[in-house]
């Protein structure tokens, strides 16, 4: 799928957020439940996250240009980072609303109607979150995955609130309502922290997964055994949906430039087949030149001084 087409799923998220905000606000207005209020606050955060996801997916889909030679795919990490931060903010807001209600409990009204409205909003969020999660994983979009995780968090929030409000109706213990809201807040803070961690790792150019690196090494080993060449300085990183691999290829000193270049072309093609949506960079060196062994680290060392 063209990356620009992923924005339509962000629009679906935005539409779902607007719809559920209306439903949950109505449920809170009818019942006066702080748990349902926390649920509505979570949906407002969903809306902000959806708008951020739309803008960053639009940026990430842009092709490489003179100022961004490696593309714009890293923009997705900004969206997921904001999403994770918003989740934490939502949890703090929920807690701020729940603590006073715990200290001074208030009776709830028309609980049945409020629960029915909230249930409808929950089912909408569940359907949209599962769709975004599937598309995000299929197309390796951290933005859609973070948005989906946020919506799933909202679903669990809603379920917890529904249980809490239902128990209030059954037991008459009004403090159950803010207690459930606080438990839900603690749970979604954990989700927000996990999303933030993943975003930070992406912005820090973290290496590819062990599975991806093993796939690259399998390609290199194939040519090492068949061509009698060696490899070093293998480096990898992930930028949104894009994967980058660089490696130095050491060939016998008697090879012609043409033969070495032809080998590099085959190696790069093999890496791209092993890792879809990847860019491979190779550097040709001579096995017979001692200087070839001086640049295995990120900084070449003191041989140039």
CATH at residue 283: 3.30.70.1350
The helix/strand/coil state of 255 is: coil
Closest CA to 43 of 161, 203, 131: 161
Last residue in a domain, options 203, 221, 243: 203
Last residue in a domain, options 203, 229, 254: 203
55 and 17 in one domain? yes
21 and 120 in one domain? yes
Residue 68 CB neighbours (<10 A): 14
216 and 198 in one domain? no
Give CB contacts under 8 A, 24+ apart, made by 18-27.
18/47, 19/121, 19/124, 20/46, 20/121, 20/124, 20/125, 20/154, 21/47, 23/117, 23/118, 23/120, 23/121, 23/124, 24/117, 24/118, 24/121, 26/117, 27/113, 27/114, 27/115, 27/117, 27/118, 27/121
Phi-psi region of 230 (alpha: psi -120 to 50; beta: other; left: phi over 0): beta
37 and 172 in one domain? yes
56 and 71 in one domain? yes
Contact partners, residue 167, CB within 8 Å, separation at least 6: 173, 176, 180
pTM: 0.59
In a domain, 299, yes or no: no
165 and 44 in one domain? yes
141 and 81 in one domain? yes
* Structural domain containing residue 178: 3-203
Split into its structural domains, the chain has a count of: 2
- pLDDT at site 211: 92
In a domain, 67, yes or no: yes
Contact partners, residue 149, CB within 8 Å, separation at least 6: 129, 133, 191, 194, 195
182 and 42 in one domain? yes
Q: What is the mean pLDDT of the chain?
A: 81
pLDDT in tens, the chain (305 residues): 555 677 888 888 889 889 988 888 888 788 877 667 767 777 777 787 788 778 877 877 777 777 777 777 777 777 778 777 877 877 787 787 778 777 877 666 667 777 788 788 889 989 998 999 898 888 777 778 877 877 887 787 777 777 777 777 777 777 777 787 787 778 778 777 877 877 787 777 788 889 999 999 999 998 887 788 899 989 998 877 778 999 999 999 889 999 999 999 999 999 999 998 888 999 999 988 888 777 777 665 554 44
Last residue in a domain, options 203, 220, 237: 203
- CA–chain centroid gap for 137, Å, is 9
164 and 35 in one domain? yes
In a domain, 47, yes or no: yes
CATH number at residue 50: 1.20.1510.10
The helix/strand/coil state of 79 is: helix
The helix/strand/coil state of 287 is: coil
146 and 225 in one domain? no
Closest CA to 16 of 50, 56, 53, 55: 50
143 and 8 in one domain? yes
224 and 167 in one domain? no
């Amino acid at each position: 799928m063209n990356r620009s087409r992923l924005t339509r799923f962000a629009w679906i998220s935005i539409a779902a957020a607007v719809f559920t905000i209306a439903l949950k606000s109505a449920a809170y207005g009818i019942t006066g439940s702080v748990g349902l209020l926390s649920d509505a606050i979570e949906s407002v955060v969903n809306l902000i996250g959806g708008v951020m996801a739309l803008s960053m997916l639009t940026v990430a889909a842009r092709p490489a240009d003179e100022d961004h030679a490696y593309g714009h795919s890293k923009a997705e990490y900004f969206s997921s980072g904001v999403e994770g931060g918003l989740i934490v903010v939502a949890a703090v807001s929920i807690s701020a609303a729940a603590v006073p209600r715990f200290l001074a409990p208030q009776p709830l009204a028309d609980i049945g109607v409020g629960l029915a409205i909230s249930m409808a909003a929950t089912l909408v969020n569940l359907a949209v979150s599962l769709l975004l999660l599937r598309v995000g994983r299929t197309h390796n979009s951290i933005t859609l995955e973070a948005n989906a995780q946020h919506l799933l968090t909202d679903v669990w929030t809603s379920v917890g609130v529904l249980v809490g409000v239902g128990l209030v109706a059954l037991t008459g213990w009004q403090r159950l309502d803010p207690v459930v809201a606080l438990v839900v807040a603690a749970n979604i803070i954990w989700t927000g922290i996990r999303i933030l961690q993943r975003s930070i790792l992406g912005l820090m150019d973290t290496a590819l997964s062990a599975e991806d690196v093993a796939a690259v090494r399998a390609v290199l080993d194939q040519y090492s055994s068949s061509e009698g060449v060696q490899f070093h300085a293998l480096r990898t990183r992930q930028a949104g949906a894009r994967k980058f691999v660089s490696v130095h290829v050491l060939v016998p000193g008697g090879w012609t430039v043409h033969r070495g270049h032809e080998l590099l072309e085959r190696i790069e093609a093999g890496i791209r087949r092993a890792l879809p949506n990847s860019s491979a960079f190779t550097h040709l060196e001579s096995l017979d030149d001692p200087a070839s062994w001086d640049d295995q680290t990120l900084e070449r060392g003191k041989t140039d001084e």
